[in-house]
């Protein structure tokens, strides 16, 4: 029932770990959800999908891992990095 | 494009728990214990509090923070029974109170002139269980009009609670509610639970509840070590001031 509050808090945590101008490069938000955490994973996924499709995000998808206990935490983020090698090649070609 | 992994490992409730710790610090600095009152909607939290405020007026100075999704109706009802502050928190649809709201509410409460803080949470047996509000003990109302298996259906709420107030016992002659089964199911989830049986309407069982509230408020005057035990939940050996242990059915 409170999955939207939890999803908003997850977004706040993501924003605390990634510079503001790179939030659009976040491609994955990994969340661990315990069976006793009082969270309906499908509902949390739905809320995260909605929030992560909007600015300052846009490309991130959530990956939920179900665990025993009451754990509820953001495990890790995946951030797409600029491809330095291909940029160099473009410059040479120009 | 290459992808970099950022290790986070941060609990989602981290921020709320930090704020709850701040609530606890401020309350303890003034020796004010706090009860978090929770239940499903309609089980009688507001009536129990109305009767409690009226009965203990002039004896225990109780400040109340009451949460509701919409309207401040409950706060208005409670304010009629006390000269102390009743703070309404309208959550605007959110299904629980959080520690940030309690911290903001404390700003308006004169803690130096308060013996006890009672938080009436939003009526809901699911979400409020997950949010620490900085309370010293959690009280769950369990009405005889509900199914006996509520503790099995909402185990987190009962597992994290310290006390259960079985409300509306005046209706027992008219209901198929089996008190012993309800108690057994609740203790199956949390063997340490202590019970009160009340009817705020007729007054039955209210003396034990009121003695408990009086004793709980006065525990604040106990040495710091004893207060830590309050925060950790009911101790197996009751201390002086908690006379309601005999209320166990």
Q: List pLDDT tens digits, range B68-114.
A: 888 888 888 998 888 777 888 888 777 889 999 999 999 999 999 99
Within an 8 Å CB–CB cutoff, is residue B246 touching chain A?
A: no
pLDDT value, residue B243? 27
Q: Mutate which of A6, A8, A38, A76 to test chain B, going by most B C-beta atoms within 10 A?
A: A38
* Token code pair at residue B191: 């063997």
Domain that holds residue B31: 14-247
Report the CATH number at residue B83: 3.40.50.300
Residue B7 lies in a domain: no
Edge to edge, the sheet with strand A61-67 lists A61-67, A26-34, A72-80, B3-11
**pLDDT cut 70: percent of chain A above it:** 87
Among B143-147, B156-160, B221-225, whose mean pLDDT is lowest?
B221-225
Residue A39 has pLDDT above 50, yes or no: yes
**What mean pLDDT is predicted for residues B161-174?**
98
Residue B70 lies in a domain: yes
Residues in contact with A17: Cβ distance below 8 Å, sequence separation at least 6, in sequence order: A77, B6, B8, B10
- More confident of the two residues A3 and B94: A3
Strand partners, B65: B87, B119
Residue B8 lies in a domain: no
* Token code pair at residue B139: 């009280």
Residue B76 lies in a domain: yes
**pLDDT cut 90: percent of chain B above it:** 74
- Residues B66 and B102: their CA atoms lie apart, in Å, by 10
Residue B212 lies in a domain: yes
Which sign, positive or negative, has the C-alpha torsion B214, B218, B220, B224?
negative
Start-to-end Cα distance in chain B: 66
* pTM, rounded to two decimals: 0.82
Residue B231 has pLDDT above 50, yes or no: no
Q: Which domains does chain A have, with CATH numbers?
A: 3-93 (3.30.2320.50)
Within an 8 Å CB–CB cutoff, is residue B69 touching chain A?
A: no
Residue B41 has pLDDT above 90, yes or no: yes
Residue B1 lies in a domain: no
Residue B32 has pLDDT above 80, yes or no: yes
Q: List pLDDT tens digits, range B116-127.
A: 999 999 999 988
pLDDT value, residue B245? 30
Strand partners, A64: A31
Q: In the structure, what pLDDT confidence band is assigned to residue B129 with cuts at 50, 70 and 90? A: very high
Residues of A in contact with B16 (CB under 8 A): 9
Residue B101 lies in a domain: yes
Q: Mutate which of A1, A3, A5, A48 to test chain B, going by most B C-beta atoms within 10 A?
A: A5
Residue B198 lies in a domain: yes
pLDDT value, residue B4? 95
Q: In the structure, what pLDDT confidence band is assigned to residue A21 with cuts at 50, 70 and 90? A: very high
Query: In terms of Cα–Cα distance, which of B25, B241, B52, B236 is closest to B139?
Result: B52
A31-90 residues touching B, CB cutoff 8 A: 31, 36-38, 70-83
When divided into structural domains, chain B yields a total of 1
Residue B187 has pLDDT above 80, yes or no: yes
Strand segments (E) across chain B: 3-11, 34-38, 62-68, 86-90, 116-120, 137-143, 163-167, 194-197
**What mean pLDDT is predicted for residues A33-46?**
92
Q: List pLDDT tens digits, range A50-91.
A: 999 999 999 999 999 999 998 999 999 999 998 766 555 555
The count of other CB atoms within 10 Å of the CB of residue B181 is 11
Which sign, positive or negative, has the C-alpha torsion B182, B231, B8, A51?
positive
Among A42-46, A65-69, B1-5, B226-230, whose mean pLDDT is lowest?
B226-230
């Amino acid at each position: 029932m409170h999955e939207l509050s939890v999803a908003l808090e997850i977004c706040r945590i993501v924003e605390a770990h990634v510079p503001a101008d790179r939030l659009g490069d976040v491609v994955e938000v990994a969340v661990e959800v315990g069976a006793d955490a009082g969270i309906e994973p499908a509902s949390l996924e739905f809320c995260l999908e909605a929030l992560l499709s909007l600015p300052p995000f846009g490309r991130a998808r959530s990956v939920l891992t179900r665990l025993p206990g009451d754990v509820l935490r953001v495990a890790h983020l995946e951030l797409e990095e600029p491809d330095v090698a291909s940029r160099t090649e473009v410059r040479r070609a120009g | 494009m290459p992808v970099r992994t950022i290790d986070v490992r941060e609990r989602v409730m981290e921020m709320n728990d930090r704020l709850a710790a701040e609530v606890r610090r401020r309350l303890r600095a003034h020796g004010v214990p706090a009860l978090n009152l929770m239940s499903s909607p309609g089980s009688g939290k507001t009536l129990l509090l109305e009767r409690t405020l009226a009965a203990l007026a002039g004896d225990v100075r109780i400040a109340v923070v009451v949460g509701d999704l919409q309207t401040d109706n409950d706060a208005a009802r409670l304010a009629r029974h006390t000269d102390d502050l009743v703070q309404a928190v309208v959550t605007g649809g959110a299904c629980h109170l959080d520690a940030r709201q309690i911290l903001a509410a404390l700003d308006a409460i004169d803690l130096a002139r308060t013996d006890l803080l009672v938080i009436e949470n939003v009526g809901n047996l699911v979400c409020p269980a997950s949010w620490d509000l900085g309370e010293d003990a959690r009280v769950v109302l369990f009405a005889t009009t509900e199914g006996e298996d509520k503790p099995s259906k909402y185990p987190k709420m009962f597992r994290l609670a310290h006390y259960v107030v079985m409300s509306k016992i005046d209706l027992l002659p008219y209901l198929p509610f089996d008190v012993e089964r309800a108690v057994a199911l609740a203790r199956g989830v949390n063997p340490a639970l202590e019970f009160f049986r009340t009817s705020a309407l007729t007054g039955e069982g209210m003396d034990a509840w009121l003695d408990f509230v009086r004793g709980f408020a006065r525990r604040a005057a106990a040495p710091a070590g004893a207060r830590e035990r309050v925060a950790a939940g009911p101790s197996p050996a009751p201390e002086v001031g908690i006379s309601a242990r005999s209320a166990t059915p």
